[in-house]
Amino acid sequence: MHLSKVLKQLIPITQFNKGKASQLFSRVKDGETLVVMKNNVAVAVVISPEEYSIIERYKLDGGNEVNKHD
Give the pLDDT of residue 61: 82
CATH code that applies to domain 3-60:
3.40.1620.10
Q: What is the pLDDT of residues 18-68, one digit of tens each?
A: 989 999 999 999 999 999 999 999 999 999 999 999 999 988 887 676 565
- What is the reported pLDDT for 62? 78
Distances (CA, A) of 38 to 10, 31, 60: 10, 23, 30
31 and 46 in contact (C-beta within 8 Å)?
no
| Whole-angstrom distance, CA of residue 10 vs CA of residue 61 | 30
Q: Read off the pTM.
A: 0.77
DSSP letter string, 5-55: HHHHHEEETHHHHTT-HHHHHHHHHTT--EEEEETTEEEEEE--HHHHHHH
Q: Where are the domains of the chain?
A: 3-60
